[in-house]
Structure 1
Amino acid sequence: MKAQESVCLVHPEIKIKDIMSLYCTDKDLEQKIKNQSVYHFIGDHDQRKCFSVLMLVEVIKQVDKTLDVINLGAEDFIVYYKRKQEESKIFHYGKIVFVILVAFFGASFSIMTYNTDVGIEELFYNVYEMIMGQAPDGPNILHISYAAGLAIGIILFFNHAGKIKLNDDPTPFEVQMRLYERDVNDTLMINAGRKGEEADVDS
């Protein structure tokens, strides 16, 4: 068997097939095990529960005590229960617009403060005067090339331009989100273990 580190379900009844992959040479027995109930969330609010893989072994052994169970996945995992809700299109697109505005103005502010800190305007002024022999009277080729290079660099680094990805590698955002998700899950499992809230064979 192979359990994932975290699973999100939209129904309160947790069966083995919902939270792990399972292989058995006896297909009838495999289907019977997959349909075994593990836990049932009570209430209609969003919840989460930490489980030990030993609990799954116990559930499987209840079906057939002679089975040899080999775990190839996580030793502890979290199941999230999220109620299935229909989200209005206005609210959905409103969230998208909000994120776009925050990202745009946040990035703009960061770039402007960086340029101010390093004195980029003064640097361009001096470089232009050094090469052209006269002081610039406004935006010039250095500003244009810098702005274009900045945009191209951001697209190449983040590997994303609209719906187009430059290659199949995950973007830095995706990598950071997966790392954050893993850290959150690890923290929740450690806290559940310390508080005795983890569903285990002796709980």
Structure 2
Amino acid sequence: MELIYVRMRNRVHVKLNQEVKVKDVVKVIGPEDIVRKLEDITLLKVKKEDKNIIIIDLVQIIQEIGGMDAELEVQTFGPAQTIVEVVYEKRKFSFLFFIGVWMLLFIGTGITIMNYHVDVSMQEVHQKLFKLITGREDKSPLLIQIPYSIGLGLGMVLFFNHFFKKRFNEEPSPLEVEMFNYQQDLDQYVIMNENKESIRQIDDR
């Protein structure tokens, strides 16, 4: 009896009408000749009716392996499902849409920062700091306000660890960590609600 090891991938991207094979969703370790045969097994063909998400369960993989050779012993590890995401062709880039979104975010962020500064009386704080440093009173202490504004922008760039597509180091930013946690929760929700293997409908007639 031959022993093979199977590990499901977390998420894969496919295109419409693409044939999804075992090698696309599973990492198989074992005798080379058996692995090649297993990896070439077609699990499904992506159709328009599948929409965006398809869940492939470990049970399906084991059934396919058993159908090919019932003598194989399968050891599994890792996740029990793979999320197959159907990637459709992206629409053409709209420069006007980009400018509109950018303006909306820029103005919204600016208003948020200004409202925060009003709430904490930031102008009065700058005036008092200016008086402590120079001994003079000034209603618009630009000597403090200008460096503060530049530092605020630089601080945000360093905090998010990105300047456009430029990354300063390999450490993930807080936004990336939050997006990762959100994606994990979303994947778990999709698995629980889309996985037909885990849904049992009871007909109480």
What TM-score does the superposition give when structure 2 sets the normalisation length? 0.81
Q: Distance in 2 between matches of 1:31 and 1:11?
A: 25
Candidates 183, 186, 201, aligned match of 1:184:
186
Cα deviation code 1:50-107 (max 9, x no counterpart): 2321211111121122222222221123212233x25324x3x455444433432332
Looking at structure 2, the residues matched to 86 and 191 of structure 1 have their Cα atoms a distance apart, in angstroms, of 26
* Pairing 1:60–2:65 present: yes
Q: Does 1:174 align with 2:176?
A: yes
Gaps of 5+ in 1: none
- Residue identity opposite 2:158 in structure 1: L
Question: Percent of counterpart pairs with the same letter?
Answer: 24
Compared CA separation, residues 94 and 177, structure 1 to 2 (3 A): farther
The answer to whether residue 25 in structure 2 is matched with residue 19 in structure 1 is yes
What letter is aligned with 1:41? V
Within the candidate set 17, 41, 51, 1:46 is matched to: 51
RMSD after superposition: 2.5
Q: Distance in 2 between matches of 1:11 and 1:72?
A: 29
Aligned 8 A contact 1:45 1:82 in 2: no
Aligned to 1:151: 153
* Uncovered stretches (5+) of structure 2, i.e. residues with no partner: 1-5
Which residue of the partner structure matches residue 3 of structure 2? none
Aligned with residue 88 of structure 1, among 82, 85, 92:
92
Alignment check: 8 A CA contact 1:50 1:189 kept: yes
Deviation at residue 184 of structure 1 after TM alignment:
0.9
The 1-side partners of 2:54 and 2:166 are apart by 37
3-state DSSP class of the match of 1:168?
coil
Residue 76 of structure 2 corresponds to which residue in structure 1? 71
- C-alpha separation between the residues in 1 aligned to 2:196 and 2:135? 73
Say which structure is richer in strand.
2
In structure 2, distance between residues paired with 1:99 and 1:4: 35
Q: Deviations over 1:1-47 (max 9, x none)?
A: 2212222211432211111222222x222111111111233336733
Compare relative contact order (CA 8 Å, sep 6+) and give the higher one, 1 or 2. Answer: 1
What is the DSSP-based 3-state SS (H/G/I as helix, E as strand, rest coil) of the residue aligned with 2:48? Answer: coil
**Contact kept? 1:5, 1:78, Cα under 8 Å:** yes
1:103 aligned residue: 105
In 2, are the aligned partners of 1:15 and 1:38 still within 8 Å (CA)?
yes
